[in-house]
Chains A and B, each alone.
Chain A
């Protein structure tokens, strides 16, 4: 089964925005048209700024349109963990910021009549294992300390799970259709004067003393301030040493009974599963989604990716009366060292370049937090969240272990780039398969399509030169170092890499590399990265 996002498949009209050609001058340029970029654009336009959004593919077509559409105050790395790595005050601020972001989304959905199925509903966090009960208890207490109405319950309605050991419930969380929401907000911001450009990849950016200069595939933008709302900042940034890329998986199914529970559930036993329900075209729930199975990007166990989907499906079949699997997809998240995102100026010396990353898989809410905070900062209104999310804070004593672990992992990926031992030939690659092979001292990423056609690129990632790995579930090249991902034609899908993998040409008769294979560029050929 091909991977395809439910949100992409259930978004009826998608307006086309033009490609930027020529030069442009604005107060603020925003790179990336996901929930972070569009929220920031909205707030900046409201503050009277001239704003342009530059999106490499389509608005909402990044992780926002490949998420699971849940809005909630709790966070994947847990508030009790944040209280430990930072402080209870920081945990409180994070909770308040997320609470405010949820309200923001509800208000703007109403204000602009965005048909995105927004509905409030509870969140449950439960376990069937004795060992995990204390985690649930600690988290409920941390939420209560942050002023959130989390309460212990004995039952988890809507699910048929035996012997629940501990469960907590929090009302007032929500669900929505993230892609419809972002497209609705994008429509509103264009009416406020924001210029949105699609198929406009930023291939170079410079911060100068009194302005920033962006180069896109067909134009340039001069601006006073620049927001990199690209999920992880593009290019090389120190934050990439503390924000690690992970992939996780989603399977969407229809149920025979039609009894879709109206809540968002975290089931934490030895493994974590998120259970949610959504609607295709109305407010009626008609789709069950199970999400989970994280692993570091480009580093699946045994380099086999299909089993992550299969496990989620098996879990669903064990607990629900599954009628059919309708969609399955995977997406990326970035984990911060201390569990709190990095939102603000990119480094201590920077005056004009802002970033927002390290959201874990909680970034529909955090992206909204980031959009509000960055716009407030740029508009000079100040933000009570500034210090909590300071993007230049780096690592501290309680997170140094994680910092070392993640960076040792990156170093280990570089050490796999040995010149010997990969002696496969083009002929060894089966249709539908991709492999990295070495030809004439060059590492190549080679994919043979179902029509037996070879697609050959350099296997050297254009970000910082790790060797990419084949992802057999999504048919992509994934970099195990900082999470850049590329299509089989070499074009960037996501991650910090700006330039595409260099295309290579081979002589079909001799199997030798030809002198010129094609230049590397930042142009992203098509909208939908996966299918």
Chain B
């Protein structure tokens, strides 16, 4: 379970940075790249820890994993748009956040639910 708790820690930090980034996207401002390149890697570390946990067998938070993977794909797409000078669709940024939050909530339920 330690792996899950650490993953939750990384996802929580990623979520905080993500919310901060969202304020830039929604105002149509340039995202600060230090935050972009911290948010993504933190979420990736969380995701990798989650995958390691799942490969160990037993009851698994599959729903969270799927939601996080979808959110990660959305995130990669947004970074590529951002760096190549194309605007980030606001709906996509919000959708990415909602997917990740849903995955996070399910993960919390899985870890602390019983």
Contacts and interface: CB of A to CB of B under 8 A. Distances in A.
12 contacts: A414-B37, A415-B33, A415-B34, A416-B34, A417-B32, A417-B33, A418-B32, A441-B29, A442-B29, A443-B30, A466-B33, A499-B85
Interface string B60-87: 0000000000000000000000111100
Q: Which secondary structure dominates where chain A touches chain B?
A: loop
B75 to A, nearest CB: 16
B24 to A, nearest CB: 7
A465 B82 contact: yes
A462 B29 contact: no
Interface of B: 24, 27, 29-30, 32-38, 82-85
A460 B34 contact: no
A414 B85 CA distance: 15
B34 A441 contact: no
Q: Which secondary structure dominates where chain B touches chain A?
A: helix
Nearest to A414: B33
Contacts of A236: 84
B18 to A, nearest CB: 14
Contacts of B38: 415
Nearest to B35: A419
Nearest to B36: A414
Contact of A465 (B27, B29, B85): B85
Contact of A418 (B29, B30, B34): B34
Interface in A426-469: 441-443, 458, 460, 462, 464-467
B42 to A, nearest CB: 13
A236 B85 CA distance: 10
A411 B34 CA distance: 9
A278 B34 CA distance: 47
Given A414-B37, A418-B35, A464 B30 contact: no
Contacts of A458: 30
Given A462-B85, A465-B85, 14 more contacts: A236-B84, A411-B37, A414-B37, A415-B38, A417-B32, A418-B32, A419-B32, A441-B29, A442-B29, A442-B30, A443-B30, A464-B84, A465-B82, A499-B85
Contacts of B30: 442-443, 458, 460, 465
Interface string A127-168: 000000000000000000000000000000000000000000
A411 B38 CA distance: 11
A40 to B, nearest CB: 28
Contacts of B84: 236, 464
B24 A441 contact: yes
Contacts of B37: 411, 414-415
Contacts of A411: 37
A195 to B, nearest CB: 30
Contacts of A465: 30, 33, 82-83, 85
A466 B85 CA distance: 11
- Best-buried of A464, A466, A499 by chain B (most CB within 10 Å): A464
B32 to A, nearest CB: 4
Nearest to B27: A441
A460 B82 CA distance: 12
The 3 nearest A-B residue pairs measured at CB: A417-B33, A414-B33, A419-B32
A467 B37 CA distance: 14
A419 B24 CA distance: 11
- Best-buried of A460, A462, A499 by chain B (most CB within 10 Å): A460
Interface in A72-86: none
B76 to A, nearest CB: 15
A414 B33 CA distance: 6
A328 B32 CA distance: 36
